[in-house]
């Protein structure tokens, strides 16, 4: 069999083979068990990084990464895949976003600090060993428990044209129904993916703290579609190209009160359409009709009752890309 032995730190795996286990990472206060799988195919590149569990409450994403390890056959893989199903094991154990040792969220600490707090040391280990070593990074996530969201994907975006083009290719290969051309909110890891010159696509499906079979299947579909598009996996059926939206616009609350949405995630909306109402805390009168800021698709709709000023109540994807050309910046 062609291919080369792959060594990542002390881990070594031969061509056409897979290595699955727990790697001990020194984070200063203790050593943490870090689960990882390396699948070494018949070619040394491209190298794809698949991650989940950056927040300890995103169970459907973690399940998708674990199933991917079982699904990939190294002998049919024209490349290499690194799978980190639980990026922050301590926050996963604590069932929260913050590492209980220092109260930090992993997503805020990249590129990390070898001499810093425990989460910063973990971030340094992940950034140096995985993010900078990958040719593409696929990160799996959920939405907040108070949000209703359709499954969608989005690509990182920066000031480097080659990086943007590579991220757009991941978006086109994803096989998702809806893709966003740029992050729908500030996402620190996307900035550091740009610094590392590692194209990033985020798959977002399901809610935090919930095991959701449909969300798990969506994540798996996205990963496998991208691997087909990159010619890492044999192409069986070419996935469809998502409807790519160039921008998103939030609909925001102006008052503290009770939120009653009139739409659901995935529905098309028109500019000025009433998306829902905010009522006084005693329910006696409406304070605000919340209207859509644009024509488009509601990818996220908040369905929790309590709201406050400036809270995002809906996220509208708009400005669909026309044709297949580079949508530009």
Residue 260 sits at the vertex; the CA angle it makes with 258 and 265, to the nearest 5 degrees, is: 130
For residues 91-103, average pLDDT = 94
- Distance separating alpha carbons of residues 98 and 319, to the nearest angstrom: 35
- Same-domain status, 232 and 255: no
Q: Is residue 114 part of a domain?
A: yes
- Same-domain status, 278 and 235: no
Q: Is residue 133 part of a domain?
A: yes
Task: Tally the domains of the chain.
Answer: 2
- Same-domain status, 234 and 274: no
**φ/ψ of residue 101, rounded to 5:** -75, -35
CATH of the domain at 297: 2.40.50.100
CATH of the domain at 223: 3.40.630.10
Q: Is residue 329 part of a domain?
A: no
Sequence-distant (≥ 6) Cβ neighbours of residue 237 within 8 angstroms: none
Helix, strand or coil, per DSSP, at residue 205:
strand
Q: Is residue 326 part of a domain?
A: no
Which burial class, exposed, middle or buried, applies to 67 when counting CB atoms under 10 A from its CB (0-12, 13-18, 19+)?
Answer: middle
Q: Examine the pLDDT at 237 and tell me if it is beyond 80.
A: no
Residue with tokens 């605000």: 288
Antiparallel, parallel or unpaired: β 243-252 and 178-180: parallel
- Distance separating alpha carbons of residues 32 and 28, to the nearest angstrom: 10
Domain boundary among 211, 241, 271: 241
Residue with tokens 């290719």: 169
Q: What is the DSSP letter of 57?
A: T
Q: Is residue 29 part of a domain?
A: yes
- Same-domain status, 230 and 264: no
Domain boundary among 178, 212, 241: 241
- Give the pLDDT confidence score for residue 325 in this predicted structure: 45
- Same-domain status, 142 and 21: yes
Look up the pTM and report it: 0.93
Average pLDDT of every residue of the chain: 93
- Give the pLDDT confidence score for residue 239 in this predicted structure: 64
Q: Is residue 120 part of a domain?
A: yes
- Same-domain status, 233 and 271: no
Domain residue limits at 298: 247-320
Query: What's the token pair of residue 266?
Result: 């995935």
- Same-domain status, 123 and 251: no
- Same-domain status, 31 and 131: yes
Least confident of 75-89, 105-119, 179-193: 179-193
Domain boundary among 241, 269, 300: 241
- Distance separating alpha carbons of residues 242 and 179, to the nearest angstrom: 6
- Distance separating alpha carbons of residues 5 and 266, to the nearest angstrom: 45
- pLDDT 10s digits, 144-160: 888 999 999 999 999 99
- Same-domain status, 185 and 206: yes
Which burial class, exposed, middle or buried, applies to 185 when counting CB atoms under 10 A from its CB (0-12, 13-18, 19+)?
Answer: exposed
Q: Is residue 197 part of a domain?
A: yes
Peptide bond into 46 cis (omega under 30): yes
Range list of β-strands (E), the chain: 6-8, 11-13, 17-26, 31-40, 47-51, 80-84, 136-143, 147-149, 152-155, 178-180, 200-207, 243-252, 257-261, 268-269, 274-279, 286-291, 296-302, 306-307, 312-320
Q: Is residue 328 part of a domain?
A: no
- Same-domain status, 261 and 284: yes
Q: Examine the pLDDT at 324 and tell me if it is beyond 60.
A: no
For residues 70-97, average pLDDT = 95
Which burial class, exposed, middle or buried, applies to 264 when counting CB atoms under 10 A from its CB (0-12, 13-18, 19+)?
Answer: exposed
């Amino acid at each position: 069999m062609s291919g080369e032995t792959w060594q990542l730190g002390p881990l070594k795996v031969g061509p056409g083979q897979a290595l699955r286990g727990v790697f001990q990472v020194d984070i200063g206060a203790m050593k943490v068990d870090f689960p990882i799988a390396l699948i070494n195919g018949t070619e040394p590149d491209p190298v794809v990084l698949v991650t989940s569990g950056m927040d300890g409450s995103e169970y459907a994403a973690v399940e998708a990464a674990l199933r991917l390890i079982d699904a990939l056959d190294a002998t049919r893989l024209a490349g290499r895949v690194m799978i980190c199903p639980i990026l922050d094991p301590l926050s996963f154990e604590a069932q929260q976003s913050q590492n209980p040792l220092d109260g930090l969220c992993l997503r805020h600490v990249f590129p990390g600090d070898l001499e810093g707090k425990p989460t910063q040391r973990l971030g340094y280990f992940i950034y140096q060993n995985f993010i900078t070593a990958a040719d593409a990074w696929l990160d799996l996530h959920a939405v907040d428990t108070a949000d209703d969201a359709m499954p969608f994907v989005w690509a990182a975006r920066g000031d480097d044209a080659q990086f943007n083009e590579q991220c757009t290719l991941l978006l086109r290969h994803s096989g998702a129904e809806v893709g966003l051309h740029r992050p729908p909110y500030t996402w620190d890891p996307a900035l550091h993916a740009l610094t590392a010159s590692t194209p990033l696509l985020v798959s977002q499906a399901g809610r935090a703290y919930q095991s959701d079979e449909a969300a798990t299947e969506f994540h798996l579909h996205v990963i496998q579609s991208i691997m087909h598009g990159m010619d890492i996996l044999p192409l069986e059926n070419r996935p469809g190209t998502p409807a790519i939206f160039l921008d998103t616009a939030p609909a925001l609350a102006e008052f503290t009160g009770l939120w009653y949405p009139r739409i659901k995630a995935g529905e098309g909306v028109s500019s000025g359409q009433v998306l829902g109402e905010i009522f006084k805390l005693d329910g006696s009168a409406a304070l605000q009709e919340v209207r859509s800021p644009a024509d488009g698709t509601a990818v996220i709709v908040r369905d929790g009752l309590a709201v406050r000023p400036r809270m995002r109540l809906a996220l509208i994807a708009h400005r669909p890309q026309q044709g297949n050309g580079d949508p530009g910046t």
